[in-house]
């Protein structure tokens, strides 16, 4: 696969910074979704293969999520009645998902998931 | 109720651990199914993501799927813009935030779906 920007290009750091600003803004404002923006950033600009991009996206999102989470906590966004059960489930699910990423080819899953996103998005917007 | 919340967390965690953006699913589950307000749902998602991703990152590191080269260019600006965006989100009406989140989700889903279709097309013809 050919990439428009070579790894030694002077433009690359600039594009990464602009991309970072956009991903950070979306993830902070919407409290998530940054991973989905970070993955194309990593595949297109840093030429990472799909699986590596999905894994690396997590380490890209973690620092900004910590920053955002502190602001949300400070502004009283977290409610423990719902928060703690969800937190517990997410940790278990995260472990399962990490092992699945290593094993399965998830093209079909992508189609299902993206279609679901569109449907749910429309439902929320109207 | 608690069991259902844990289950919602597990679903979000699996998607998140695969680096597909668990929050895009978990946030609407919390608002539409459990009646949590948008800002609180975003806060719960952000906070749940931190321990989940820490665990997932360790697993991905062991599988050698994480590539750290040049990601600092993305991470640093992203942290700054995410904190700014989090403050902004705290000062917006929850129902407006929900609508904006819906638009974000639908547009992102459509773009990702289109990208996936384009990516799979040449493979099918060969």
List chain A residues with CB under 8 Å of B5: 82, 85-86, 89
pLDDT value at B86 more than 90 = yes
The encoded tokens of residue A1 equal 């696969």
Q: Does B33 touch chain A (CB under 8 A)?
A: no
The pLDDT, as a whole number, for residue A1 is: 47
Number of domains in chain B: 1
Convert the pLDDT of each residue in B87-119 to its tens digit: 999 999 988 999 999 999 999 999 989 988 888
The encoded tokens of residue B56 equal 């997932």
Convert the pLDDT of each residue in A85-112 to its tens digit: 999 999 999 888 888 876 666 678 788 8
The pLDDT, as a whole number, for residue B94 is: 87
The residue-averaged pLDDT of A72-80 equals 90
pLDDT confidence tier of residue A3, bands split at 50, 70 and 90: low
The encoded tokens of residue B77 equal 């600006």
What's the predicted TM-score (pTM) here?
A: 0.88
Q: Identify how many contiguous H helices and E strands chain A contains and give both numbers.
A: 5, 0
The encoded tokens of residue A23 equal 């991903």
The pLDDT, as a whole number, for residue A104 is: 66
Q: Which of residues 44-63 of B touch A (CB under 8 A)?
A: 44-57, 59-60, 63
The pLDDT, as a whole number, for residue B126 is: 47
With tokens 């589950």, the residue in question is B29
Give the residue ranges of DSSP H helices in chain B: 2-17, 23-28, 38-62, 72-90, 94-125
Interface test with B, best of A90, A100, A106, A110 (most B CBs within 10 A): A90
The encoded tokens of residue A116 equal 């679901």
Q: Which of residues 82-101 of B touch A (CB under 8 A)?
A: 82-90, 98-101
As a whole number of angstroms, the distance between CA A123 and CA B74 comes to 32
Domain extent at residue B46: 2-125
Give the residue ranges of DSSP H helices in A45-106: 50-74, 80-103
pLDDT value at B55 more than 70 = yes
Judged by CB atoms closer than 8 Å, whether chains meet at B59 and A98 is answered as yes
Judged by CB atoms closer than 8 Å, whether chains meet at A100 and B18 is answered as yes
CA distances from A8 to A2, A13, A46 (A): 15, 9, 11
């Amino acid at each position: 696969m050919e990439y428009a920007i070579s790894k030694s290009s002077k433009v690359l750091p600039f594009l990464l910074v602009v991309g970072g600003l956009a991903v950070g803004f979306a993830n902070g404002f919407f409290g998530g979704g940054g991973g989905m923006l970070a993955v194309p950033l990593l595949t297109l600009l840093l030429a990472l293969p799909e699986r590596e991009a999905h894994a690396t996206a997590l380490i890209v999102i973690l620092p900004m999520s910590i920053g955002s989470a502190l602001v949300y906590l400070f502004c009283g966004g977290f409610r423990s009645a719902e928060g703690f059960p969800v937190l517990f489930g997410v940790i278990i699910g995260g472990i399962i998902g990490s092992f699945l990423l290593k094993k399965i080819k998830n093209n079909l899953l992508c189609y299902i998931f993206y279609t679901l996103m569109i449907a749910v998005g429309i439902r929320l917007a109207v | 109720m608690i069991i259902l919340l844990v289950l919602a967390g597990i679903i979000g965690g699996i998607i998140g651990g695969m680096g597909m953006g668990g929050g895009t699913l978990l946030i609407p589950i919390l608002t539409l199914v459990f009646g949590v307000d948008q800002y609180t749902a975003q806060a719960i998602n952000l906070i749940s993501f931190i321990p989940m991703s820490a665990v997932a990152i360790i697993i991905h590191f062991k599988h050698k799927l994480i590539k750290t080269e040049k990601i600092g260019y993305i991470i640093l600006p992203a942290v700054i813009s995410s904190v700014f965006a989090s403050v902004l989100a705290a000062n917006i009406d929850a129902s407006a935030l929900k609508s904006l989140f819906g638009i974000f989700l639908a547009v992102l889903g459509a773009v990702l779906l289109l990208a996936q279709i384009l990516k799979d097309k040449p493979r099918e013809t060969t």
